[in-house]
């Protein structure tokens, strides 16, 4: 039998995890990863906060719930095996007002159904034992929630692909995808590469790359920039572990929170503002092409009509450090604008349906020889190795059906 070649578009953590899984699962298969950048993990993976989520937030039975819980165990084992950073700092999901207690109780039941390990409810006094400088009237404590270094993990995945005989082709912007007899042709300008099957993990460009493969126009990607502050070094002692608000179930964002990093810094954030470019890491970054695409999509206007008040609030925080820290100060009282400096920013690829609904769950489309990951927001990094298993299962199930074998 001739050697099979599997192509993967996207050298972020999901694409590299998928390439690695296929290379390990099918020895003799040649895997080629294509990415337009000159290094791996440059965008969403490279701007990730480093949190390994335990599975608290996700609706039971959803792909997010199932793959996050599975992904944690795979990721922990991988980091231990490769001596990569993995610290179980623990997390408090904290209520600061009485009207949040009902949402917190619902979150507890959801987490219990998802088998989040060692999760418990804690009182105001217990909060102070865990986080002496935190406010809050009650919280959920997840001691197994961890932090790691996702870019380092992605680089290790890339090495695994190369060691298995595969290739990570950087500086290869995909400009065309064509189904041909017996396979798929991937183009970058005049260059053509033939593969037997193709998997699209293009992150911020997942909708445009999927359209090249005739997967359809929806859902569309709407880029949301998340900006961070950093606690000044003399204030990092105020935070021991992760401190999160009780999230608003209307939004797929978790709100401004405190996140210790493996390098010893403590981030505060992110907010969530509509970015005017898919790779718009600053407020001044504008792509006319991306902006025109947003304006032309009916879902953008329907989303704006539903959530414009929240959008105004988020932009106020982007423009004013004082406004940004006002919410954060409810969770660690006394921490304000003077205690932070501006940190980095990331851009989240958020899928949006035509009716204005922000897509919450992972969404993966399969058509013939092409599999397209259309929505993979947080906790995609946590779940990356489990997402890779899920995609590989689907790809080879389709392959068996194509050949007519059981």
The C-alpha angle with vertex 107 and arms to 101 and 112, in degrees rounded to 5, equals: 130
How many CB atoms neighbour CB 73 within 10 A? 12
Beta strands 30-34 and 167-169, pairing class: parallel
- HEC string of 121-177 equals EEEHHHHHHHCCCCCCCEEEEECCCEEECHHHHHHHHHHHHHHCCCEEECCCCCCEE
Question: Tokens standing for 270?
Answer: 């992110």
C-beta separation of 74 from 386 below 8 A: yes
Cα atoms in the Cβ-side hemisphere of radius 13 Å centred on 352: 25
What are the backbone dihedrals phi and psi of residue 128, each rounded to the nearest 5 degrees, phi first?
A: -65, -30
Mean pLDDT, 10 residues at a time, over the chain (406 residues)?
A: 86 98 95 98 96 95 96 98 98 96 96 96 97 96 98 98 97 97 96 97 97 92 94 97 88 82 96 92 92 93 82 70 88 94 94 94 94 96 98 81 46
Beta strands 30-34 and 5-9, pairing class: parallel
Distance CA 147, CA 46 (A): 14
How many CB atoms neighbour CB 280 within 10 A? 22
Tell me the CA distances in angstroms from 65 to 116, 262, 302, 367, one per residue in order. 10, 25, 28, 25
Q: Judge if pTM exceeds 0.75.
A: yes
Nearest to 319 by CA among 276, 287, 282: 282
Nearest to 75 by CA among 19, 152, 132: 152
Across 306-361, where does the E strand assignment appear? 340-352
C-beta separation of 299 from 349 below 8 A: no
C-beta separation of 62 from 359 below 8 A: no
Total residues belonging to the chain: 406
Q: What is the DSSP letter of 205?
A: G
The side-by-side arrangement of strands in the sheet containing 197-200 is 167-169, 30-34, 5-9, 197-200, 370-375, 363-367
What are the backbone dihedrals phi and psi of residue 195, each rounded to the nearest 5 degrees, phi first?
A: -130, 160
Distance CA 24, CA 384 (A): 15
């Amino acid at each position: 039998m001739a050697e099979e070649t599997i192509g993967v578009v996207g050298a972020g953590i999901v694409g590299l995890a998928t390439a690695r899984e296929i290379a390990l699962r099918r020895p003799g298969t040649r895997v080629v990863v294509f990415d337009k950048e000159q290094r791996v993990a440059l965008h969403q993976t490279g701007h990730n906060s480093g949190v390994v989520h335990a599975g608290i937030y996700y609706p039971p039975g959803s792909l997010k719930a199932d793959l996050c819980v599975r992904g944690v165990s795979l990721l922990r084992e991988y980091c231990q095996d490769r001596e990569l950073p993995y610290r179980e700092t623990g997390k408090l999901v904290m209520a600061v007002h009485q009207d949040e207690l009902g949402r917190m109780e619902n979150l507890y039941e959801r987490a219990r159904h998802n088998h989040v390990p060692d999760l418990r409810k804690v009182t105001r006094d217990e909060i102070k034992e865990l986080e002496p400088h935190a406010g809050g009237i009650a919280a959920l404590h997840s001691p197994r929630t961890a932090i790691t270094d996702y870019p380092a993990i992605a680089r290790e995945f890339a090495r695994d692909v190369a060691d298995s005989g595969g290739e990570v082709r950087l500086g290869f912007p995909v400009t065309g995808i064509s189904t041909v007899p017996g396979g798929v042709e991937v183009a970058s300008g005049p260059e053509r590469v033939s593969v037997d099957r193709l998997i699209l993990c293009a992150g911020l460009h997942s909708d445009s790359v999927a359209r090249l493969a005739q997967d359809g126009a929806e859902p569309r990607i709407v880029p949301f920039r998340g900006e961070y502050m950093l606690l000044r070094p003399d204030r990092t002692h105020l935070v021991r572990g992760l401190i999160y608000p009780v999230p608003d179930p209307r939004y797929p964002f978790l709100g401004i929170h405190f996140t210790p990093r493996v390098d010893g810094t403590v981030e505060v954030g992110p907010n969530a503002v509509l970015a005017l470019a898919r790779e718009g890491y600053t407020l001044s970054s504008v792509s006319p092409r991306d902006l025109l695409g947003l304006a032309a999509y009916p879902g953008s206007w329907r989303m704006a009509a539903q959530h414009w008040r929240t959008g105004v609030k988020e932009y106020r925080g982007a423009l004013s450090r004082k406004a940004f820290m006002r919410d954060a100060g409810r969770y660690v009282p006394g921490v304000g604008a003077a205690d932070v400096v501006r940190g980095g920013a990331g851009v989240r690829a958020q899928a949006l349906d035509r009716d204005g609904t922000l897509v919450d769950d992972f969404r993966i489309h399969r058509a013939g020889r092409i599999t397209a990951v259309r929505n993979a927001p947080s906790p995609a990094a946590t779940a990356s190795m489990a997402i890779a298993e899920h995609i590989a299962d689907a790809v080879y199930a389709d392959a068996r059906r194509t050949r007519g074998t059981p």
